[in-house]
Amino acid sequence: MSVPSGPAAKTERLLNLVLVLLYTRRPMTKAQIRGVVPQYSTAPNDEAFDRMFERDKDDLRELGVPLVMEELSAGWDDEQGYRIHQRDYALPDVEFSADERAVLGLASRAWAQASLAGPAAQALRKLRASDVERDGESLIGIEPRLRTVEPSFDDLKDAAVKRMAVTFDYRRADSDDATTRGVQPWRVLLWHGHWYLTGHDLDRDAPRVFRLSRITGGVKRIGRAGAYEIPADHDPVALLNRTEPETTPSPAVLRVRAGRGHALRRRARSIGEVDDIWSLVDIDHHDVNDFAAELASYGADVVVEQPAELARAVRERLHAAAVAHEKAS
């Protein structure tokens, strides 16, 4: 039988290795393994075989296969042997009731458009390997979707899981210029619809928050795994909230045209009818500029009565919009 090369040959070799090491009842020496896994015969010499075998062991461990080294029994000098214990390899038996299966399916489908789509589907297939009962499609009329459109998601998730420091180029909100940041990742968090990384900023020597969509280019690992501890009391949401402090609201009075300003009316503290054309709306706001922007969008349907500062901000915006759109392009 000819020995194929390429990825298929490697899959075959690794699968044979797993089968051999699961089947054996005592640890096997490297020489024994080389004799029984046929694909190792392609190695031209001992050195090449050693390299191949070392890489294969790393690959299997990366996959989560618990390949262990054990002392051989007497008579084998000091040599070590290898095996995989079935009890450590196999997923423990676990049974799920119908409603648990439904929510597990939902949890898995939540990643359908994300980089974890494959692992999510595979996990479900493992859990349901021996469970042949078919489910109807989602019995729950609700679909949460977790999207990961940011290319840095996978690298940062892996770095946070393995506790490995990284560097990346980070763009500020208000400019295209990026600076390189060094970070010990703590947590990757979806918050208000955006993915964030929290961690220890190595340059600023303080906890910081990074928005994944502002990371430009790749993520580079700079340290070894498990190189730092994540503070036990780390609360990522608190850290994120700190970047957006609460302010006390200020009152405003607006004149709003009848049948218009729906979103404002919804938030109003009180609404009085002036005449058939206008209502008087009492409403709270936080940031003058943000609120002025919102009010300007209503054009002639909303007029600010008070405060003067807000009226001026709206007027300036409208004026700027008028001038910018009157210029010949």
| Contacts (CB under 8 A) with another protein, residues 217-276 | 236-237, 255, 260-263, 266
Q: Which is nearer to another protein, 77 or 104 (CB)?
A: 104
Is position 212 an interface residue for another protein (rule: CB under 8 A)? no
- DSSP one-letter string for 230-291: PPTT--HHHHHHHTS-----EEEEEEEETT--HHHHHH-SEEEE-SSSEEEEEEEES-HHHH
Is position 316 an interface residue for another protein (rule: CB under 8 A)? yes
Q: How far apart are alpha carbons 147 and 149 in whole angstroms?
A: 6
| Choices 75-83, 200-208, 268-276, 293-301; region in contact with another protein by CB under 8 A | 293-301
CB of residue 152 to another protein, shortest distance in Å = 14
CB of residue 40 to another protein, shortest distance in Å = 12
Query: Which residue in the set 29, 30, 32, 36 belongs to the binding site for another protein (CB under 8 A)?
Result: 36
The answer to whether 155 touches 218, Cβ cutoff 8 Å, is: yes
CB of residue 233 to another protein, shortest distance in Å = 13
Is position 296 an interface residue for another protein (rule: CB under 8 A)? yes
Q: Please, which of residues 188-207 interact with another protein by CB under 8 A? A: 188-194
211: closest CA among 181, 231, 232?
181
Phi-psi region of 13 (alpha: psi -120 to 50; beta: other; left: phi over 0): alpha
DSSP 329: -
Q: How far apart are alpha carbons 187 and 231 in whole angstroms?
A: 11
Q: Which is nearer to another protein, 57 or 78 (CB)?
A: 57
Query: Which residue in the set 77, 78, 176, 233 belongs to the binding site for another protein (CB under 8 A)?
Result: 176
Phi and psi angles of residue 69, each rounded to the nearest 5 degrees, phi first: -105, 135
Q: Which is nearer to another protein, 66 or 182 (CB)?
A: 66
Query: Which residue in the set 90, 225, 258, 277 belongs to the binding site for another protein (CB under 8 A)?
Result: 90
